[in-house]
């Protein structure tokens, strides 16, 4: 028989309390998850759209393959648009019971993202280069300072400005000329 000292008893009590409260909170999440998944199974009568197979032979570098869904590449084809709309409708119907949860999850993820951020500056050819993100902006701002970090900031490339007319934009491969006068980048 072991001796139960007050310290051992306190540790045992704390462990039991932790397990109890963890189980209670997990059970609440489990009920929520179970309820959400059971709502999805109530919709089992909905039939997912099935894309037609229209085999197309593709030969590249002497290698031939058959792609039965190649026709889906044509964004201007009304049949492709109709199929994608049917898939989107199906997904909306199947996921409709999660609408509140999706918003809650999105807000939580956004809440964990640092809205204003700054990369580690590095010195190259007399300039300190770094990238920063401003709150509410989606893309990077590439900047530099001459000589030291207290010098005036020079914006080399504000990707947010370039991205304005597009739904998505990507700029990369930034390179500054040896005389520090020309910036090249790919888009």
Strands of the chain (E only): list them. Answer: 56-60, 63-67, 117-118, 122-124, 127-133, 141-146, 153-158, 172-176, 183-186
Three-class SS of residue 77? coil
CB atoms within 10 A of CB 144: 21
The pLDDT of residue 94 is 87
Q: How much is the mean pLDDT over the chain?
A: 85
- H helical segments located in 42-167: 78-95, 99-112, 159-163
The pLDDT of residue 116 is 83
Query: How far is C-alpha 142 from the chain's CA centre?
Result: 22
Mean local confidence (pLDDT), 17-29: 59
Judge whether residue 89 has pLDDT over 70.
yes
More confident site: 103 or 25: 103
The pLDDT of residue 1 is 46
The position carrying tokens 């006068």 is: 181
Beta bridge partners of 127: 124, 146
Predicted confidence (pLDDT) per residue in 37-70, tens digit: 566 666 677 889 999 999 999 999 999 999 999 9
**Comparing 87-91, 108-112, 134-138, which segment has the lowest mean pLDDT?**
108-112
First to last CA, the chain: 74
What CA–CA distance (Å, rounded) separates 11 from 108?
Answer: 34
Confidence label for 24 from pLDDT (cuts 50, 70 and 90): low
The pLDDT of residue 6 is 62
174: nearest Cα among 144, 146, 145: 144
Mean local confidence (pLDDT), 121-125: 97
- The pTM (predicted TM-score) of the whole model is 0.51
């Amino acid at each position: 028989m072991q001796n139960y000292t007050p310290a051992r008893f306190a540790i045992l009590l704390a462990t039991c309390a932790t397990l109890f409260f963890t189980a209670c909170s997990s059970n609440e999440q489990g009920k929520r998850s179970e309820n959400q998944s059971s709502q999805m199974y109530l919709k089992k009568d909905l039939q997912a759209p099935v894309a037609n197979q229209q085999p197309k032979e593709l030969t590249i570098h002497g290698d031939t393959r058959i792609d039965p869904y190649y026709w889906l590449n044509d964004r201007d084809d009304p049949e492709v648009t109709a199929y994608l709309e049917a898939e989107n409708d199906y997904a909306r119907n199947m996921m409709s019971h999660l609408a509140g949860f999706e918003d809650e999850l999105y807000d939580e993820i956004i809440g964990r993202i640092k809205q204003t951020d700054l990369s580690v500056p590095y010195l190259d050819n007399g300039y300190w280069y770094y990238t920063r993100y401003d709150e509410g902006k989606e893309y990077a701002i590439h900047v530099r300072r001459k000589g030291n970090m207290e010098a005036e900031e020079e914006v080399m490339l504000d990707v947010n400005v370039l991205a304005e007319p597009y739904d998505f934009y990507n700029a990369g491969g930034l390179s500054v000329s040896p005389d520090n006068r020309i910036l090249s980048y790919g888009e």
